[in-house]
């Protein structure tokens, strides 16, 4: 296979990120396998995509024939080997825990052809830590999509010291075919660019809330009205999942041992209470209440 000839893509993990990345892959013309260990997650993913893409048809963003062609390219499976054994490019979108990702990449290293590029959609973990579990660190990179991938037009492609230029350029080309704007980071840094900037804002917002300067609702309101942000930091946590922020903080602390990187007390309380945001119906805001528009 030519180094740049990507024809078959596998996406591992059918959660809120993975199933939409797989749809972008199919829309981009790639034969795509979406794999998850739970059949129920795959069923939910398929139902969600059918609903979301029907709205694209209604809004004339895509015609029925093109959509059907894309769905014909998209295959759902619980069999990891079947999903990746002929893949040219794999995108991992599982839980934001380093040990889980390393275990998966070790399996991918065994199951995929030697030419296959292995990308992680991690929102904070640098790819060199995951590539340690493989025999091909030069073919490992970050390919960080933003939530929700079908809406957000940005992908951070990150090179480690061992990632080859060919791998990085292939990831950039895949992003382009998925109709997403890719930005190449030439060096690794935990959290990359967007989430480091967003994390600094969110950390300050949470600190101001915990110290009683203003309610979380009013902090969101100030960010929207004074800074012209489309959504406040607390509402954004609800959208992406409060548990995601929690795991990111835990991973950052594991790397730095700096107590300042630990999850904030209020974040930890939300996670322990199972109030993770929109996906559980309640986070900072209560989404059973129709008046919530954040």
Backbone angles phi, psi at 84, to 5 degrees: -115, -10
Nearest to 122, CA basis, from 155, 157, 99, 93: 93
* DSSP classification of residue 62: S
| Active-site position among 33, 121, 128, 144 | 144
Residue 156 designated active-site? yes
Say which residues have a Cβ less than 8 Å from residue 269's Cβ, sequence separation at least 6: none
| Active-site position among 195, 240, 249, 275 | 195
Say which residues have a Cβ less than 8 Å from residue 274's Cβ, sequence separation at least 6: 280
Is the separation of the CB atoms in 11 and 24 below 8 Å?
Answer: no
Cis, peptide link before residue 84, omega less than 30° from 0: no
Q: Can you give the C-alpha Rg of the chain in angstroms?
A: 19
Say which residues have a Cβ less than 8 Å from residue 256's Cβ, sequence separation at least 6: none
| Active-site position among 156, 160, 188, 275 | 156
Residue 195 designated active-site? yes
Residues listed for the chain: 294
Active site residues: 123, 144, 156, 195
């Amino acid at each position: 296979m030519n180094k740049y000839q990507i024809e078959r893509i596998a996406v591992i993990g059918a959660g809120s990120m993975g199933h939409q990345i797989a749809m972008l892959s199919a829309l981009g013309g790639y034969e795509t396998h979406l794999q998850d260990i739970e059949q129920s997650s795959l069923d939910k993913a398929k139902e969600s995509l059918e609903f979301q893409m029907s709205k694209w048809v209604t809004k004339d963003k895509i015609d029925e024939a093109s959509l059907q062609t894309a769905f014909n390219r998209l295959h759902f499976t619980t069999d990891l080997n079947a999903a990746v054994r002929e893949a040219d490019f794999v995108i991992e979108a599982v839980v934001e825990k380093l040990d889980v990702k390393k275990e998966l990449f070790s399996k991918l290293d065994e199951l995929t052809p030697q030419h296959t590029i292995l990308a992680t959609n991690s929102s904070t973990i640098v790819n060199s830590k995951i590539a340690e579990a493989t025999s091909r660190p030069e073919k490992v990179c970050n390919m960080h999509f933003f939530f929700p991938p079908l809406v957000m037009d940005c992908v951070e492609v990150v090179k480690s010291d061992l990632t080859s230029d060919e791998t990085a350029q292939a990831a950039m080309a895949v992003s382009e075919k998925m109709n997403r704007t890719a930005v190449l980071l030439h060096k690794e840094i935990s959290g990359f660019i967007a989430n480091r900037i967003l994390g600094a804002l969110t950390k300050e917002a949470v600190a101001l809330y915990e110290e009683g300067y203003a309610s979380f609702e009013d902090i969101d309101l100030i960010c929207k009205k004074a800074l012209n942000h489309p959504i406040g930091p607390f509402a954004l946590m609800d959208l992406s999942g409060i548990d995601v922020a929690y795991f990111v903080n835990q991973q950052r602390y594991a790397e730095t041992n700096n107590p300042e990187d630990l999850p904030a007390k209020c974040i930890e309380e939300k996670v322990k209470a199972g109030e993770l945001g929109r996906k559980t119906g309640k986070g900072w805001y209560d989404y059973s209440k129709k008046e919530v528009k954040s």
